[in-house]
A and B are shown apart, each in its own frame.
Chain A
């Protein structure tokens, strides 16, 4: 090779190398030469110019944590926690006296769901104009209509569906409002107005009050139905049973508890208080070593992370666990007899307690006695004094008036003779009755029912009774089984046995909030307001024994039992499943108008999908109006869909979280951005309130329009826009909580940045200055340390705790006619006829349970893209042993069938370690078949949805398949075929069962 050739070759190699390098790195070089900067709105911080900070309350779930919204250019860019709100910080929240401007450097925590709610706000599938059905029910065809057409048609009714070829005449709101009896033969059912039935999915203080103003006080219908039965109903039910109706909600004082047992709940996913309070507090305290807890669940909950133990339990057997613990505690004298024996609250106070029980009260236990199962009263046993006073046994073994001694005997069974009549009556103490239930089986037998080793149950009982008053048992939605009320009550009674009620570190009812409905303005009543009369279509809160149906059967010499469908006189909350069953069976009367608000019952009720035929049937549901943000599995059958605002642009509320602190918390929800829905002709956002106001005005309902709200000053004020109501509520709150006037700086900040400041003229300048203080901080928050009173919490439960609940014990099952028990007990899964269900379902070897993920809320977060990024679909989770036995592995597809769904559903398998054998779990949230998951016919679709052309073209709304992935567990759930229509229910509360379905799993 010559020198020249070598040089040439070298040059060529060098040049070639450089060229290859340049080719490979061209994009990098170009980017370096001409960088493209994109200024991200999300990078803006609290103190950047042009950024608005709005404190409000989250509704990504029902935990009611505070939020801090960061808004730039009118767009919500970030949601964080509100550092003033006790739910958003483990440490002390910011003092209320700290100025808003000084709060910007403090942070509040917020869970994923709240942060992802931006995507709920900007969901392109949100409806922004009123829609009307454009074909037969269920044809999945809609068309946009004007606001005025909507109001006219639903208000006055008539042949409003002639446009789709239906000749029937439909009653509007005006015609349905009637004081005439719905059934003149059965006057107890109330007026025809009750044929207006309202179902609320997620209701909260504020909007619920507004709805009831329209529905009950305005229209005169009793039929307001929240979704209690498919939620935490048995949690409320047992507390109300325990406190004789005084307290619905109680929780451990988590900041001071030393030991806690969490049954059927997961504070690291979906407990109330929410994840960023309860979950983080537990994690922190458990890691520090100042708190220890055990989780009891068929599926290992996320909270097992820091738990000292995960006790796995068979679904629906919590009552057995509780009774086993009660038996061991009684046998080993580990209960607080000193506390339980107190006969009156005064006696309890003298003995260093702040709550009292009826443990020592005598109960008549004598079949055939007219007052059998009731408390012995002085008159029953001939004691002198007030004949209506309870009777206890004194240390000498004699019956005495309960308030004549401080402590009564706890365990007593025997005959008490009336010295006047000489008649003897067999009696037991309330505590004895509880003991009898607990001693029905041995500790080992109870443990075997629950699927727990006996020793585990005993250690749990031992440890629980080792921390004095600073231990607690708490539970949540896991009590949704057919004997869930009994089980939950039995768990509550464990708290009572150690006497932790009202103690710091024990169970508390929480500090609640400040009143806002009354004060400067009276938002609770108005001239011409009606009250709810009669019976709900779900038959809750009314005893079957008081009905005409009962009386007629009895008069005809028939056994009045069973009732045609169940009645729930003891129900603590409202029932959805039986509402739809009542509508379907037109029992006890028919429905004329159904309004579903923020609701997706077909997806959310166990087996609710069967109500599609009910909603399709114009005979059963002549007019169906939905008020919602999207088209879901249920309102796809509606005649009209009214667009609504999300909680980030309206959905006003003044609300306290479930007990997380013993101090007062009244957080407020206000719009953080201007509503994105269309405006009414007079410029109000199209939403729930505008709709109700306009319908009310159209049919001249009292309580709406001009002069609707009485002021304390004697004047009357108008209710023509949402803010007319809620701003006055805020003024009441500020006044009742004695809030100080805001500073000038805060007033100018709020006025410059808050959407609601546009409406400040509704209030007087003096009222507005106080409201500004509340708006700036997102509510009124008392210093949490004020919530304690020495060793106790300040706001105490003082109603007598019912170890024996006489009302429950004397109420009869509406179908079997048997008495309910009066205290905690265990029962296997039964249908309404009292038949054992598991023995009918023997071909189905697995129990199915469902649960919530920490990144989702019920049916309504499938639009949060971040959540789908984290987990695009759900699975059926199967324990390792069961999976091996079935020869299935991760990613396999299986068909799951149940006695109520023989065709079954398919699901993708995930094999997990944390599951009790014989149980499978499917999370909620996924497996949608509407919610934008598939194409829908909507005329001029781009004008009807927030995403416009991005999701719609011509007359078609495009489907987003990502929203339909995964599996919904509810279509599999066991229906109660002994009465039809509904799922299995707890006959006491009406709570639907999510824990009692047996299924079969087969590899596809």
Chain B
């Protein structure tokens, strides 16, 4: 956080300038409201569950996710010690799904971080400085939104070369426009408010105004948008891996697992079914949570 000589002045109660510290009673109130939403709680439960599964995957997994055992290939669920069956190379599907949750959660976190940092800088700068800079930035954002996003992700990923890392970059890039727009909109609303004017008249620098006055008050929409983007990132990463452009074998990535099972759908339904369900549930968790958070944190964004 940038320190300035005005620290003592601006933090004095009389100035009442920078963002107020998080109000405990407000947080509590929001939690109470959040708790009333069954769907949001279900979302939180799903996410916590997947996080725990990812964290304790080495302990929980009955086997090695990469260990091949060809004599037991395509074993049915509940047979031969395979709870969810085995794939074409005789690997335990349950173990692969458990380790796969690490990949999916990590992919989501990294690509959303890319979107939030890049989109955040663009949105903050465009919204705060306005003028030609804003016009230029927003035209570029519009241009990015003129592309159908999944297509853009496929092309970026294919151009950079198929790998999980490039998939995260591609997904991070396609997430930039929506984050930038949300942040710009809330900066525009925030920067004209009296407390910002007050702090500006006290001589606060641009950096200080942006980071310590305006940004903390834009956190709510950023959290909501990031949660929904997290859901989108998981599903896009799975789609890219399914197409062979993301995670490469033998990584236990969910989309790649579905892809490897698609040749056996006439005989072994379980190879694609369980990893697909995992994708669905994880994405659903983030969508439910994002929806619930939106209702609580940002009533303006309600549909």
* A and B bind: no
Interface of A with B (CB < 8 Å)?
Answer: none
